[in-house]
Copies of this chain bind each other. A is one copy, B any other.
Amino acid sequence: MSHNTFGHLFRVTTWGESHGEAIGCVVDGCPPGLNLTPEMIQTFLDQRRPGTSRFVTQRQEPDRVKILSGVFEDDRTDGPVTTGTPISLMIENVDQRSKDYSDIRDRYRPGHADQTYDAKYGVRDYRGGGRSSARETAMRVAAGAVARQVLGADIEIRGAVVQIGPHKVDRANWDWAQTGNNPFWCPDATMAATWEAFLDETRKAGSSAGAVVEVRASGIPAGWGAPVYGKLDSELAGAMMSINAAKGVEIGAGFDAAAFSGEQNADEMRSGNDGIRFLSNHNGGVAGGISTGQDVIVRIAIKPTSSILSVTKSVTRDGAEVDVRTKGRHDPCVGIRAVPVAEAMLACVLADAKLRHRGQIGS
Contacts and interface: CB of A to CB of B under 8 A. Distances in A.
Contacts of A209: 261-262
Given A22-B88, A31-B363, A228-B242, 17 more contacts: A3-B229, A3-B231, A5-B5, A15-B26, A24-B68, A83-B125, A83-B130, A110-B269, A111-B267, A119-B290, A120-B223, A150-B363, A202-B261, A253-B303, A258-B335, A262-B305, A262-B310
A226 B120 CA distance: 8
5 contacts: A3-B229, A108-B269, A111-B262, A150-B363, A270-B315
Nearest to A259: B166
Contacts of A17: 69, 72, 85
A192 to B, nearest CB: 17
Interface stretch (A51-59, A182-190, A349-357): A349-357
Given A15-B69, A72-B130, A228-B242, A255 B248 contact: yes
A81 interface: yes
B291 A116 contact: yes
A73 to B, nearest CB: 9
Interface residues of A, number: 162
A265 B121 contact: no
Given A113-B290, A121-B83, A258-B210, A29 B335 contact: no
Copies of this chain per assembly? 4
A342 interface: no
B266 A111 contact: yes
A247 B253 contact: yes
Interface string A199-239: 00010000111111000000001111111111101111111
A301 B110 contact: no
A198 B225 CA distance: 35
A133 B252 CA distance: 21
A86 B4 contact: yes
Contacts of A221: 119
A208 B257 CA distance: 11
Interface string A59-71: 0000000101110
